[in-house]
């Protein structure tokens, strides 16, 4: 492993992060478990950053990939593509967006990039509203709307971005307010912000902030924002790269927790739909999607192989009600973790919904983020046979838990026991 690590360091950029003091090479997986090159078995509570959505080596997906690869691997969007049309039809119907059109990309970054292109083209404006503590990808345009400085390496931007309050409920100037007062204050902030600008193209927001540490506003905030946005003709882009496909348990899409005024104008997705295959995409009303007045194609977006994987994975998700499983098992897991955290002074908050759970760590007795504690728990969990993630807008002090949606109750308890031991070591 040391040899592979040295080879990695010799050819891969320094800014490509690796977890653990002694990085591991994952060689294979099955169900909710993976194995490393040394033969160690781990319960996977991060799923390749929320991407292995159903299960590792899911037979239905591997069979679909193998059969399609045996027929045709690539053709581009210049030709009719049956798997792409089939998946687009299903996603359009599930999106809730009327007269929907779907464009496939290869990542969530590229999906958000496309959404920004559509919004700015449709509105003829390069002004974007984004949420503080947000993350939308690593491309030049996506970085420019990312409100989390740890993931935004440059201030140069093709867009004029204005940041809005509301993505983080338990920190900031409105944290002490009730939910209703919090929403009211955030709406007033938005109204004030719009009073100092004009012709804004869109607001882009994650219903639950992923890299930001699984933070979210009270339900209904974006519906209240929508009333303001609609008065100004501003589009709403819901970034569902991490929240889509039933992960939150309560809803199929994160935006549905804010659904009083209907679906977003544009929805972006990626990660879980491919169960590890490179699929991203954008859904928008036809009038918005068709606003581009130049030619455009995608060489790799909508690849027959990735689309076949997406169709098989989505079918499995719906047929086995993995959204319901995320609600049930996730509810049990979050309550179990809250019970553990109650006696761990370093835990500031356990939050989340479904199988999207964050544990925020601080220096005991303060609100000061403790990234060293998060790193220590990450290492201790791995030693105990559990893989988790980390993030957060305050120096990466949030442990992120997001297992495949087929997680069993027994596996949830197994993971909770490892987390209990790791947290108590603090």
pLDDT in tens, 141-178: 888 888 887 777 777 788 999 999 999 999 999 999 99
b vs e for 245-284, b when ≥16 Cβ sit within 10 Å of the residue's Cβ? Answer: bbbbbbbbbbbbbbbebebbbbbbbbbbbbbbbbbbbbbb
* Residue tagged 């060489």 (tokens): 299
Class of domain 62-319: alpha beta
75-130 pLDDT, tens digit each: 999 999 999 999 999 999 999 999 999 999 999 999 999 999 999 999 999 999 99
Element (H, E) at 67: helix 59-71
Cα separation, 391 vs 214, in Å, equals 8
Instruction: Band the pLDDT of 1: cuts 50, 70, 90.
Output: low
| Residue ranges, CATH 3.40.640.10, the chain | 62-319
| Residue ranges, CATH 3.90.1150.10, the chain | 2-58+321-424
The topology (CATH level 3) of 2-58+321-424 is: 3.90.1150
Region for 392 from its dihedrals, namely left if φ exceeds 0, alpha if ψ lies in -120 to 50, beta otherwise? left
| Beta-sheet strand order (sheet of 100-105) | 100-105, 280-285, 266-269, 235-239, 202-205, 127-131, 160-164
Give residue 142's pLDDT. Answer: 87
Is residue 64 within 8 A of residue 312, CB to CB? The reply is yes
- Which range is least confidently modeled, 147-156, 167-176, 247-256, 290-299? 147-156
Cβ neighbours for 196, distance < 8 A, ≥ 6 positions apart: none
User: Can you count the helices (H) and strands (E) in the chain?
Assistant: 13, 15
Q: What pTM was computed for the model? A: 0.95
């Amino acid at each position: 492993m040391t040899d592979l690590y040295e080879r990695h360091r010799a050819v891969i950029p320094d800014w490509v992060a690796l977890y653990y003091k002694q990085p591991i090479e994952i060689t294979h997986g099955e169900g909710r478990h993976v194995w490393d090159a040394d033969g160690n078995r781990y319960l996977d509570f991060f799923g390749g950053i929320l991407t292995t959505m159903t299960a590792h080596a899911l037979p239905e997906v591997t069979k679909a990939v193998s059969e399609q690869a045996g027929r045709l691997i690539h053709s581009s969007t210049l030709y009719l593509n049956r798997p792409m049309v089939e998946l687009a039809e299903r996603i359009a119907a599930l999106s809730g967006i009327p007269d929907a059109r779907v464009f496939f990309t290869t990542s969530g970054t590229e999906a958000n990039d496309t959404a920004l292109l559509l919004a700015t083209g449709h509105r003829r404006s390069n002004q974007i509203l984004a949420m503080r503590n947000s993350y939308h990808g690593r491309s030049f345009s996506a970085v420019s709307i990312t409100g989390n400085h740890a993931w935004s390496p440059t201030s140069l931007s093709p867009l004029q971005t204005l940041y809005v309050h509301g993505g983080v409920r338990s920190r900031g100037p409105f944290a002490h307010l009730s939910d209703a007062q919090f929403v009211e204050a955030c709406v007033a902030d938005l109204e004030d912000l719009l009073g100092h600008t004009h012709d804004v193209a869109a607001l882009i927001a994650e219903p639950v902030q992923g890299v930001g540490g699984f933070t979210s506003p009270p339900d209904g905030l974006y519906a209240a924002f929508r009333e303001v946005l609609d008065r100004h003709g501003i589009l709403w882009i819901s970034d569902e790269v991490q929240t889509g496909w039933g992960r939150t348990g309560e809803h199929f899409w994160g935006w549905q927790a804010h659904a009083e005024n209907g679906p977003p104008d544009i929805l972006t997705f990626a990660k879980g739909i491919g169960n590890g295959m490179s699929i991203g995409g954008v859904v928008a009303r036809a009038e918005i999607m068709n606003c581009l007045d130049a030619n455009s194609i995608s060489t790799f977006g909508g690849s027959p192989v990735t689309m076949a994987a997406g169709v098989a994975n989505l079918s499995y998700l719906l047929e086995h009600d993995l959204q319901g499983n995320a609600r049930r098992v996730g509810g049990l897991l979050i309550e179990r973790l809250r019970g553990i955290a109650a006696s761990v002074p370093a835990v500031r908050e356990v939050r989340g919904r479904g199988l999207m759970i964050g544990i925020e760590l601080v220096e005991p007795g303060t609100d000061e983020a403790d990234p060293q504690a998060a790193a220590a728990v990450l290492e201790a969990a791995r030693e105990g046979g559990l893989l988790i993630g980390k993030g957060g807008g305050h120096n990466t002090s949030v442990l992120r838990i997001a297992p495949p949606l087929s997680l069993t109750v027994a596996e949830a308890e197994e993971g909770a026991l490892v987390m209990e031991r790791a947290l108590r070591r603090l």
